[in-house]
Structures are given as C-alpha cells and as structure tokens.
Structure 1
Amino acid sequence: MTSLAAAHALDVPEKIVACLGFGVDAYHGVNHAQVLENLAALERDGAYLGAFSVSRSTKAGALYLDAVAHAQAELPAYPSIVNGSIAAAVRGEFGDVRFTDRTKGSELFVNPLMAIYFAVDLDALARRSLYLDRLRDTVLMRQVHSVIEAFRDEVTPRPPKAFPH
C-alpha cells in the first residue's frame, strides 16, 4: 500500500500496477474471490488493462526462474515464499509444493494462476482504496500497520467468499 500511495502521488502521465502471484497471500487472509470481484469492478470502471502470463518457454520466464534460483542460493535460510511459489507455478508444479521449511505446518496451493500478471490503472486502483489517504504522513512500517489496523477496526469487513467451483 505504501508503494501504491507513493506512485499515486507521482505526476506522470501513465501509471500501471501489474500484480503477480495470485493466491499466494491466502495465508495472510486475502480472499481471492474478492480480488476477482475487485478486478471486475475495475473492469467496469475501465481500469482493468488485462492479464498476461510468465512462461518458462520465454526468455523473460527463463530469466525469472534463474533470478529466483539465484536469490534462493544466496539466501538459503530465508527464501522468498512468494517468488518460490510463483517459480513453482511457472515450472508447472501444482498443489502443496515444498521448497522451504518456512512454510512448514501450512498447506500451499501452487497453481497456474500464480504465474499470471493482472494489470490495472494505478490511479484508478488508488481511488478505490478507502484508507490510502491516511498513509500520507506515515514514515515507519509500524505506523502503516497501525493506520491499516485502525481502519479495519472502523469497518465491518465483507464476509469472505469461496470460489464457487
């Protein structure tokens, strides 16, 4: 959200958000049926720009896999769960794929949707945020966390939805 707020404040003619790793944040409580609902709302607003995938058969996909492998080799005690999951999806792996002990005790759901970028107009996305303006004067991550938690305490969240299929 801090990156979104910072980019939203920039005076440049075109700003795009490209989001990769659909489904990775389920562990943190992200409801992905609601993510799809929000993408549909952005489409209605004319702000959804489309999707494209990372394929291991492309130069970009191969370089991505190499970069993830390099990062994991350099930091073997703390590999990125997000990038490891996306790389597994790019390789065609599926389900509860293990690549680090950091996910011990949880069940992963690596799947092809993790290798798809969803692109939206950044300013339109920022305008849909109900608390982005509250982050303006924050400096430290604990301040950001406090602002978001205070906002959550003020609202009644939408009940989580399950994928219907």
Structure 2
Amino acid sequence: MTSLHTNPFFARLADAERVLVAGAGGGFDIYSGLPLALSLLHQGKEVRLANLSFSMLDGLPVDDWAAPDLAAVTPGSAPHQSYFPERTLAQWLHRHGYPSTVYAFPQTGVQPLRDAYRALTELHRIDAVVLVDGGTDILLRGDEAGLGTPEEDLTSVAALAGLDGVPTRLVASVGFGVDAYHGVNHVQVLENIAALERDGAYLGAFSIPRATREGALYLDAVAHAQQATPQRPSIVNGSIAAAVSGSFGDVRFTDRTRGSELFVNPLMSLYFTFELPGLAARCLYLDRIEETYLMRQVHARIAEFREGVTTRPSRGFPH
C-alpha cells in the first residue's frame, strides 16, 4: 500500500529499468503517452516507444524491419509519405536530443501483434509496458450503449494480456470526453472505472500540468505534429493539448472538427491508470478476438458479440 503523496502508477514502475510506452489505438496515440515516456526518461530509465500504426508500412525497406510485423521508424523513414505519425515523432525526438526510434506495428489481429510485442520486449529486455489510449474507449467492456472505436485498442490489450515474461503491464487513458464524438457514454466510463477500483485494478488519476517540463514538451510535440501533418492533425491530442493549455469549450484548432462541437475541459488532461490484466479481465469479448490474425476478423467478432449482448442504457450526467 502506498501513501497519499506517492503516485501509485509511478510507484509500480519504480523498480523497472527498461520501459516500453506504446500507443494502443493507432494514428497519433503514441503522442498521448509522450508525457509519461519523457517523465520516465528524465528519471534515468531506458524507454522505448511503439505504436499501432495507421501508416503505410509496407513500403519500408527490409532493413527497417526489426522482426515480422515490427518496423523500426527513424527520422528519415519514408520521406515521401505525408502522413506518418511515427516518423513525425521520431523527428521531434531527434530535434530535442532524445532516442529517436519509434517502433510501429501494422494493423493485424491479436496473434501477430502479440508475436511482435514479444519480439520487441525480448529485443530490449523490457521489464514494464505502459499501453496508452488517447480517449476512453479502451475502458469499455462491451455492453455499453456505444463502444467508440474499440478494435485497435482491445487488440492491443488482448495481445499484451497474453504476453508472458513482462512482469509489469499497465494502461493509461487520457482525453476523458473526447470519444463522445464516437458515441461513447462517459457516465458508463466512470461506472467502469468504479468497478475497476473495486477489483483493485485502478491506480488513480493525475494531470499533465503545462508548468512541468513534460507538459511543456508535450505541447511543443503536438504543435510540431500539427505543422507537419496539416491535412490530418490529431483531434484527440489537439484536444488534450488545448486542455493542458487551459482552453475550455468549443476550441477550434483544425478544420477537421468543422460541423461538430467540442467540449475541451480540464478532465481531458487527466491520466486514468490501471493494471492491464485487471482491465483485460473485465472485457466481455476478449476471448472472442484471441485467435484473430487479421484486423477485419477483430471487427467481425466484435460485431457478432454486439448482436447478441444486452446493452446498458445510456445515462446522462446529473445537472
């Protein structure tokens, strides 16, 4: 048991020497874990970064593949691609003097992704993994009114839940409220967090203050990514960065949100943290996606599950 002044999440990582911080849901998700990764680096730990990728990895040369389904992206990778979040992050890391390789997993089913995670953790002798979701759909168990976009997130959870040899596996969710656009009911998210607390899997919450070194660097990294990818900037990380900066309400930082109303607020800058095995145990369909090899199989099996489940009705916040 820790004391109130001790952060339980970082306490779980205190003895880890080599930590992997990985984005669960593709796109710019790894940016959501950047403040955590920087904090661990500043503590003197060896930190590796990885991301389930939406980028076109097939065109990378053979030398860029560390193992099957595991690409090692550097600042100079695929210069012809305009959308490549992993390369954009590698360039920012290099500019600031940090280790600049970002590993990328192609979109696959659970079995190949687990093999890729195993190869990466064995390559760098990883003793702790932090899986990060920009948003909250990773916290949904399957019977909620809406699931958002769970396929990539829960494929990552399932892959790591069955990964032997890594003693510490954690989940961090940041961007509370941003998934409302995808139909997530955040009262049900809070209900799930309460259940995870009862199970002993919830490690508490903490914010990303912009007055910290890591908070300031995160804002700089998001701004750099927005400039590097003007046609497809990250709405999730743009919202989180706006919240970290103290913005509130319907904040406009990209034309991609035209026609929708954002609700940027301080809760978006909070990390909610969990033990990954406990989170995985509450997912009602994780066993159904276990033997998948393709992402389309994951989509199909979640859809089949949803057809037969009784969903909990959506609930509103009390006024």
TM category, shorter: over 0.9
Following TM superposition, where does structure 1 have runs of at least 4 consecutive aligned residues deviating by more than 4 angstroms? none
Tell me how far apart the structure 2 counterparts of residues 141 and 101 of structure 1 sit (CA, whole Å): 29
Identity of matched residues, %: 71
| 1:4 is aligned to 2:149 | no
Which of 178, 185, 188 aligns to 1:34? It is 188
Tell me how far apart the structure 2 counterparts of residues 49 and 61 of structure 1 sit (CA, whole Å): 21
State the shift of 1:142 in Å: 2.2
> Over the residues paired in the alignment, what is the CA RMSD in angstroms?
0.9
Query: What is the match of residue 21 of structure 1?
Result: 175
Counterpart secondary structure, 1:15: strand
| 1:135 is aligned to 2:285 | no
Query: What is the match of residue 94 of structure 1?
Result: 248
Larger RCO (CA under 8 A, 6+ residues apart): 1
State the shift of 1:10 in Å: 1.3
Query: What is the match of residue 147 of structure 1?
Result: 301
Counting matched residue pairs gives 165
Which of 53, 72, 80 aligns to 2:207? It is 53
State the shift of 1:102 in Å: 0.9
With the length of structure 1 as denominator, give the TM-score of the two structures: 0.97
Query: What is the match of residue 267 of structure 2?
Result: 113
Tell me how far apart the structure 1 counterparts of residues 300 and 258 of structure 2 sit (CA, whole Å): 28
With the length of structure 2 as denominator, give the TM-score of the two structures: 0.51
Counterpart secondary structure, 1:117: strand
Write 1 or 2 for the structure with the bigger share of helix: 1
Rg larger for: 2
| 1:82 is aligned to 2:236 | yes
Amino acid at match of 1:5: A
Query: What is the match of residue 71 of structure 1?
Result: 225
Write 1 or 2 for the structure with the bigger share of strand: 2
Amino acid at match of 1:6: A
After TM superposition, the structure 1 stretch with the greater mean CA deviation from structure 2, 139-148 or 101-110, is 139-148
Gaps of 5+ in 2: 1-153
State the shift of 1:72 in Å: 0.6
